[in-house]
Amino acid sequence: MKNTIIIVALLVMLISCNNKADKKNIESSTIDNSHEQYFENTKMVTNLDEAPYNKRHISNGSQYKYDTLSSNYISDVKTILQTKNFKFPEEQKFKDKLMQVFNINVYDFKNKVVVLRPAMFTEIAIKDEKFVLIEDPKTEHRIINDDLEFYYNSYVFYGDREAFRWLQIKNKKQLIDLVLLYGYNSDKELVKLVFKNFDFNNSDLFHDLIFTNDIKLKKFVLRKSILDDIEQLIYEGATDGFTDIKKANGYNSFSNIIQKIRDEPKNYNDPEKYIAFLYEKELRIGIVSHVKSNVINDPNYKSFLKENNYFNFKKLKNYIEKVYVGGTNSEE
């Protein structure tokens, strides 16, 4: 009996030791995995890109680095916004609004401040503080325009109409730049304001309105939604057929831009599809001359469109297959 008790005690001690060893191994494995995850996360952070516009060339050949932007300057702007009761957005809203308005994900970059475009006076996303610092060209460098900082952020993040009206009166250019430079068009009242005095006959300006220079692709990408706005706001919608042409000047520069794409196709992300889309837009308001000329001058273009299923553009397909038939224009 005594020997049995001793054997049982030894077995209990042995199991206890094994459990402790297993627990230690599990803890050690957990720590190792934790370290691996830490280094993997660190690697992901360090692999983020540098913000493309954070260095600005100065006339004497040197560079100004916005990463060294004065913390006091940032703090002063933040204090102004706080004094005016600006509601700083949560991180997700901050990220989403910058993507919607400025077409940039600032969290793709490791910098704490991200310059949104190259310019002498620019807009700068302050990631830690969740606001956009806007430099006012009407003041001396680093002199803060209190109202501009407040109303600009109020409009960008909350679409505030009082802020919109103030910017329209006091800083109209900064407001219009949101459409012209960044392609922002969710606010149709703003888009109407921009179109009202826009020179659609200037092909260079018009090109920069309907294309954005993509940071990652380093190529021009078409702003299709801007062209949709032109169709709706300038031409008041599409026509039913091809017999009537809607009178307006929104598409005056199409031929020049199409030629520019043909001359420099490597500069565009999807050149042939963009050209077909421009033809589609013209056909929707009754203009047939450009695509007709293309088909006449290039006998292979019709078959090229067919092989590519007309890039899924219905009006273009309808015109080529049902109106312009076999090299003759049945509409005549």
pLDDT at 39 over 90: no
Share of the chain above pLDDT 70, in %: 83
> In the prediction, which pLDDT does 91 show?
97
Give the burial string for 73-87 (b: 16+ CB within 10 Å, else e): ebeebbebbeeeebe
> In the prediction, which pLDDT does 312 show?
97
pLDDT at 5 over 70: no
3-state DSSP call for residue 240?
coil
pLDDT at 272 over 60: yes
Token pair listed for 326: 């076999």
The sign of the torsion formed by the CA atoms of 59, 60, 65, 69 equals negative
Mean pLDDT score, 233-238 = 96
> In the prediction, which pLDDT does 213 show?
93
3-state helix, strand, coil in the chain (%, to 5): 60, 10, 35
pLDDT at 59 over 80: no
Mean pLDDT score, 146-171 = 97
CA 129 → CA 297, 302, 307, distances in Å? Answer: 57, 55, 52
> In the prediction, which pLDDT does 304 show?
97
38-47, 67-76, 88-97, 186-195: the lowest-pLDDT one: 38-47
Contact 176, 228 (CB under 8 A): no
- Strand-pairing partners, residue 114, are 125
Band the pLDDT of 291: cuts 50, 70, 90. very high
* Cα–Cα distance for residue pair 190/178, rounded to 1 Å: 9
* Cα–Cα distance for residue pair 236/241, rounded to 1 Å: 15
> In the prediction, which pLDDT does 232 show?
97
Q: What are the residue ranges spanned by the domains of the chain?
A: 49-195, 198-332
State if pTM tops 0.85: no
